[in-house]
Amino acid sequence: MDAKKLIESGKAVLGIEFGSTRIKAVLMDEMGKVLASGGHGWENRFEGGVWTYSLDDIWTGLQDCYQDLKNDVAKQYDAKITSLGAIGFSAMMHGYMAFDAKGELLVPFRTWRNTITEEASEKLTKEFHYNIPQRWSISHLYQAILNKEEHVKDVTFFTTLAGYVHWKLTGEKVLGVGDASGMFPIDMATGNYDQTMLAKFDELVAGEGFGWKLFDILPKVLNAGEKAGCLTEEGARLLDPIGELQAGIPLCPPEGDAGTGMVATNSVGVRTGNISAGTSVFAMVVLEKDLSRVYPEIDLVTTPDGKLVGMVHCNNCTSEINAWVNLFVDFQKLMGRDADMNEMFTKLYGVAMDGDVDCGGLLSYNYFSGEPVTGFDKGAIVFARNAEAKFTLANVMRTHLYSALATLKVGMDLMIKQEGVKVDEMFGHGGYFKTPGVGQQIAADAIGAPVSVMDTASEGGAWGIGLLASYMITKEDGESLSAFLQNKIFAGQTGSKLMPIPENVAGFEKFMKQYVDGLKMEKEAAALLS
**Residue 220's Cα: distance from chain center in Å?**
21
Contact between residue 36 and residue 110 where contact means Cβ atoms under 8 Å apart = no
CATH of 265-463+495-530, one of 3.30.420.40, 1.10.510.10, 3.40.50.150, 3.30.1600.10: 3.30.420.40
The answer to whether 20 and 2 are in contact (CB under 8 A) is no
Rg, the chain, Cα only? 23
Cross-strand partners of 41: 22
Bridge partners of residue 270, in order along the sequence: none
CATH of span 95-159+184-217:
3.30.420.40
pLDDT per residue as tens, the chain (530 positions)? 799 999 999 999 999 999 988 999 999 999 999 999 999 999 999 999 999 999 999 999 999 999 999 999 999 999 999 999 999 999 999 999 999 999 999 999 999 988 899 999 999 999 999 999 999 999 999 999 999 999 999 999 999 999 999 999 999 999 999 999 999 999 999 999 999 999 999 999 999 999 999 999 999 999 999 999 999 999 999 999 999 999 999 999 999 998 998 999 899 999 999 998 888 899 999 999 999 999 999 999 999 999 999 999 998 999 999 999 999 999 999 999 988 898 999 999 999 999 999 999 999 999 998 898 999 988 999 999 999 999 999 999 999 999 999 999 999 999 999 999 999 999 998 889 989 999 999 999 999 999 999 876 566 889 999 999 999 999 999 999 999 999 999 987 778 999 999 999 999 999 999 999 999 999 999 999 97
Pairing status of strand 50-52 against strand 425-429: unpaired
Distance CA 98, CA 104 (A): 8
Give residue-wise pLDDT tens across range 515-530.
Answer: 999 999 999 999 999 7
List where CATH 3.30.420.40 sits in the chain. Answer: 95-159+184-217, 265-463+495-530
Are 206 and 286 in contact by the 8 Å Cβ rule? The answer is no
The predicted-structure confidence for 122-175, as pLDDT tens digits, reads as follows 999 999 999 999 999 999 999 999 999 999 999 999 999 999 999 999 999 999
pTM over 0.85: yes
Rounded alpha-carbon distances, angstroms, from residue 499 to 269, 316, 450, 503: 20, 25, 5, 12
**Which segments of 9-77 does DSSP mark as H helices, in order?**
55-77
